[in-house]
Amino acid sequence: MNKTMIQLNKETVAKLQTLKRYPRETYDEIINTLIDDSEVEILTEEDIKEIEKGLEDVRKGRVKTMEEVAKELNVKL
């Protein structure tokens, strides 16, 4: 594995240390975990519109309880 040296502020190192999941986890592993987590799918405009529509339904009372839905579908909870 090719390695390189980077300079970090002491505060940055302290922050990285708080992110360790286990004592011997390397900074490389921590940084890669952060990078991988940042690549999580971002909401699309369509997703945002659907969420806003759902929130509007809740605000206007256009929702049903789990019990109501279960009764309509003849499902026991």
Domain layout of the chain by residue ranges: 9-40, 41-77
Query: Is-contact 38 32, C-beta < 8 A?
Result: no
Provide the percentage of residues in the chain whose pLDDT is more than 70: 100
pTM over 0.85: no
The model's pLDDT over 8-18, given as tens digits with 9 standing for 90+, comes to 999 999 999 99
Secondary structure class of 6 (helix, strand, coil):
coil
